Structure 1
């Protein structure tokens, strides 16, 4: 493993263990087994390295999510069963990637004060939405259309909300069955209101 790869691995480890804000350049260099100067040489700054590590960690979580969701793709399931099973598997990935989710929420909280973080996270929104839309449909990719972006935005909102609940109290996090019922109740209210108004 070269210094660049070692730095990324060290930064991901620090993100998971210490979070974004408490990780120092010295922490990363120590975890990677390289000199402090290597950070500047390969990434320009600690923040650039941390952002690259976060992107790589999110990619790894995306692969884990893809594997979890692929298990439902080949099964003959009705839409309710697929939804419930898919979300149960999504929630199961949180335990292995707990540090990543903590670090993400920490970065969101810092975004107002660190423009680089806001820019980095903002730039990734569209790709994340299209990626989630594809994953939940069992596809390699989806077209860049308003419907796919809307589907992805809804999934992103649901995912972030469930992740936040899981971080606070894993045992109280709704499972796939509860999420599906909530969606039914919400849809009935929205569609009922829409029908009543026409």
Structure 2
């Protein structure tokens, strides 16, 4: 690897171990195998730009992993509610096995407030995520998902995902299970009632 790649890898390690706010230029240089601190400015312009690039790399990995986990919904012979519950149980399991990736997505949201480029990147990712989630749930291709379905079904699914993630990362013992989510959605459906004619 070259200095640029070493710096990205070092910044990723620092994000996972220390988080965005507590990572210093010195930390990144050390985690990069001794790449000089000046190389950060040369390759990325600033510590913030390097950490944002490392966050984007982590989020891309997170999105790929999450997409694979969620895409399992469309397979199997179980009833849709059972498949949906099992899908959520797989997502919950990934909170433990890929904790640093999930935490990176939370850090990115906080940092996006201070970086327009990162905010635009995340907004584009959210749009793609809404469409992808709606496609998984409807069993169709992403290209066939209209804006309304993405803004409703996809957005609600994304809200469930982010809400569950924050609950699990904060207090896994009290966070809902896949069965709790299905039960809660059934209760919510009774609250809002059927569509109006």
TM-score (norm 2): 0.83
Cα RMSD over matched residues?
A: 2.5
Q: Which runs of 5+ in 1 are unaligned?
A: none
Instruction: Tell me how far apart the structure 1 counterparts of residues 29 and 170 of structure 2 sit (CA, whole Å).
Output: 31
Instruction: Tell me how far apart the structure 1 counterparts of residues 8 and 98 of structure 2 sit (CA, whole Å).
Output: 16
The question of whether the paired residues in 2 share the 8 Å contact of 1:129 and 1:152 is answered with yes
Alignment of 1:91-170 (within 5 A): 91-112=92-113, 114-116=114-116, 117-134=118-135, 141-143=142-144, 145-146=146-147, 147-170=149-172
Q: Which moves more between the two structures, 59-68 or 102-111? A: 102-111
Alignment of 1:65-80 (within 5 A): 65-80=66-81
Instruction: Tell me how far apart the structure 2 counterparts of residues 130 and 88 of structure 1 sit (CA, whole Å).
Output: 22
Q: Which runs of 5+ in 2 are unaligned?
A: none
Taking a change above 3 Å as real, the CA distance of residues 85 and 14 of structure 1, as seen in their structure-2 partners, is same
The question of whether the paired residues in 1 share the 8 Å contact of 2:62 and 2:102 is answered with no
The aligned counterpart of 2:7 is 7
SS in 2 for 1:30: helix
The aligned counterpart of 2:54 is 53
SS in 1 for 2:78: coil
Taking a change above 3 Å as real, the CA distance of residues 135 and 64 of structure 1, as seen in their structure-2 partners, is farther
**What is the number of equivalent residue pairs in this alignment?**
194
TM-score (norm 1): 0.83
